[in-house]
Amino acid sequence: MTGRIVKLLLGLVVGAACLWLAFRGVASADHENGVSWAEIGAHLRGTAWWGYAGVVALFLAQVAVRVERWRVQVRGLTGAAPPWRDSLAINAAAFAAVFLLPFRLGELVRPNLAAQRGILPAAQGFAASALERVVDGMVTMGFFGVVLLAPRAEPLPAYVTAGGWTALVVFGGAAVVFALAFRLRAFSERVTMRVVSLVHGRLAERVAAMLRAFLDGFACFRRPVDLVAYLGHTVAYWTLNAVSMWVLLRSMGIDQGLMAAAFCLCFVIIGVMIPAPPGNVGNFHAFARLALRISGVALAPAVAYAIMLHALSVACVVGLVLVFLLSGDLSLSRMRQAAASQPPTATPATPS
């Protein structure tokens, strides 16, 4: 309990600092170096109707891609894909929980809900989630590097370009390390324990457990075509995310291309990875504003876009889970139980 309180306080402090950064230069009246709330409000009210429709439609497309990606994993682990309606309900609860709950408690919801419904054991569910987090991180890292290094009319600051090269190096190095770890599993676990134990014994155990969970998740790829499908769904998901952000940019009258939207997406991903309060309030806004300002967007539309993007993100994830709560496919009591259940300590068995 003490650890969670500390994490919550840290997230609130970080979120408050990010809120200050997000709205720095915004005042109730015009002044020399800032903008007024009235100007930001005008940009918000000026959003075209098709921007809202486009964001919602692309959000649903992203959900469909992520659900199908999860079904690929479950089919590989159990031999049968779960029903689409159940899969959609479980993932809708997971999307809302990951976005809204503190302490990363949302990561517990999908494996535990799937176990409640007899779709797959919780241990396998957590292994699948561990794999998903790693693959998402690797793909977005590569995505980040490509976006930062892509040619553009106005060159980015040197530190941003350096970040792009760093992202590509990390992406390439991680891909090699995980490929070798999968091929030489026992050796990889021993080396990991020995190396990390030089720093801290308990840390070595945690890192080794994370590595085992990740490698156990790979058990879902019994055929090469499954791995290709999984990676294809991952790339499609993040591409749709960038397109959605670009549609919102255009609907708010911000004249930026798809690459600027992808750039903003990469920054937002970084922002929500660090400690944050519930709902990613502050982190989301600050990093979206920073990305647009680097891309040359004026302060008022950049702040307005950050506000609108966060508001629509919350509305979409909450709206989706409400549909399933009202239909009876989900219940708050089951979701609370899933968020409170701890992951199993034993390493999940690899299916034969």
Q: What is the pLDDT of residue 209?
A: 75
The answer to whether position 103 is within a domain reads: yes
| 45 inside domain | no
Per DSSP, 3 falls in state H
Question: pLDDT category, 12, cuts 50, 70, 90?
Answer: confident
- Check residues 48 and 149 and name the one with the higher pLDDT: 48
Query: Which pLDDT belongs to residue 103?
Result: 60
In a domain, 312, yes or no: yes
Judged against a pLDDT cut of 50, whether residue 347 lies above it is answered with no
Cβ(311)–Cβ(51) below 8 Å: no
Please indicate, yes or no, if residue 311 is contained in any of the structural domains.
yes
**Distance separating the N- and C-terminal Cα atoms of the chain:** 39
Range of the domain at 269: 60-340
Lowest mean pLDDT among 121-130, 199-208, 286-295: 199-208
Of the two residues 298 and 348, the one the predictor is more confident about is: 298
Two structure tokens written together for 232: 């294809």
Render pLDDT for 112-132 as a digit per residue (tens, 0 to 9): 999 999 998 888 888 888 788
Residue 25 forms part of a structural domain = no
What is the model's pLDDT at position 349?
Answer: 39
Query: Is 101 part of a structural domain of the chain?
Result: yes
| Res. 137 pLDDT band, cuts 50 70 90 | confident
User: Looking at the domain assignment, is residue 38 inside a domain?
Assistant: no
- Cβ neighbours of residue 277 closer than 8 Å, sequence gap 6 or more: 8, 11, 12, 14, 15, 16, 102, 283
How many whole angstroms separate alpha carbon 246 and alpha carbon 262?
Answer: 8
pLDDT in tens, 221-275: 877 888 889 989 999 999 999 999 999 999 999 999 898 899 899 889 888 888 8
Residue 287 has pLDDT above 70, yes or no: yes
Domain count, the chain: 1
What per-residue confidence (pLDDT) applies to 322?
Answer: 95
Question: How far apart, in whole angstroms, are the C-alpha atoms of residue 127 and residue 112?
Answer: 12
Q: Is 126 a domain residue?
A: yes
